Amino acid sequence: MTRWGILGTGGIAAAMTADLQLHGHIVNAVGSRTAESAARFAAAHALPHSHGSYEELVADPDVDVVYIATPHPQHAPNALLALAAGKHVLVEKPFTMDRAEAERVAEAARASGLVALEAMWTRWLPHIRRMHEIIADGTIGEVRTVIAQHAQRVSPDPAGRMLDPALGGGSLLDLGIYPVSFAWDVLGEPVAIEALSTPTSTGVDALTSILLGHAGGAQSVLTCGLEARGSNTALIVGTEGRIELGPFYFTPTWLRVVDSDDREVERFEARITGRGMQYEADAMERLIAAGGGEDPLMPVSQSVAIMGTLDTVRARIGLTY
């Protein structure tokens, strides 16, 4: 059995640990920057080992794969630390801060024969798998448009992580990664990128709209924001119909297919136990068991390229960290 270590003790680390344990995965250890934080997390989740540094965690012989759950700017250095110690890495989204960092992580994994995977957990959800089946069988014809939103209302505290440029704050990397990755998943790499943004008082983006052009003239219209909660739905429009993904499309409770006469022809629902993060853990363990390589649903090469798309968006809106 694959043995997991958790690097970081924040909310996303707790959610992932709970899903891992709920679905029978082995979580052996947690690492934090302080022994006290690690000990509290280990006690809360009944983990056998806690480590007061990341270096101690990646050196733990009872850990095979490390889940990186730190703030965005730490993803690349933490992943490289774990890979250098011989551990596979599941890196929370966004994979890194930019394409250059992503390339370094991907190359380090390839060179060491280890797996590096972005924790874009939505790629493996049952609804998203069904969505791809519907597109592939031609039910909605040729896809021409993807429309997706991820907007939340977060604390306006300028000292908070979401507004801190030093921590990769703003809506783009934290929230916009979902619709951008979704557009990539449906229509592939964009051939044209435009963007418009409204900044916060700290200089990070409060609201960003992105227009992607894809091969064959298809387009993606994407928005993300942190000042107001949106419907957080997605729409895939084809020449013969459309797929609607209900709120929140990145962890939906339903999708429906509507034909060109506006008649519902399918409604798909699946109950997801927990947060739904177990599916990415299953994918990670399959890759490790197979001896490495790229996951077909979230190849690391695509994670690298998506960071390139986000780099271009940031250049368009003048967002720097």
Residue 23: CB atoms within 10 A of its CB come to 14
Cα–Cα–Cα angle for 42, 112, 35, rounded to 5 degrees? 20
DSSP 67-111: EE-S-GGGHHHHHHHHHHTT-EEEEESSSSSSHHHHHHHHHHHHH
Sequence-distant (6+) residues with CB within 8 A of 101 are 75, 76, 307
Nearest C-alpha neighbor of 208 from the set 248, 236, 179: 179
DSSP 318: T
Q: Tell me which residue of 89, 121, 95 sits closest to 108, measured CA to CA.
A: 89
Report residue 220 CA to chain centroid gap.
18
Give the three-class secondary structure for 12.
helix
Alpha carbon distance 126, 229 (integer Å): 25
Which residue among the candidates 45, 75, 87, 93 is catalytic per the annotation?
A: 93
| Residue 244 CB partners (closer than 8 Å, separation 6+) | 233, 234, 235, 255, 256, 257, 258
Beta carbons within 8 Å of 134's beta carbon, 6+ residues apart = 140, 243, 257, 266
* 87 is known as an active-site residue: no
Give SS3 for 135: helix
User: Are the beta carbons of 56 and 66 closer than 8 angstroms?
Assistant: no
Catalytic residues: 93
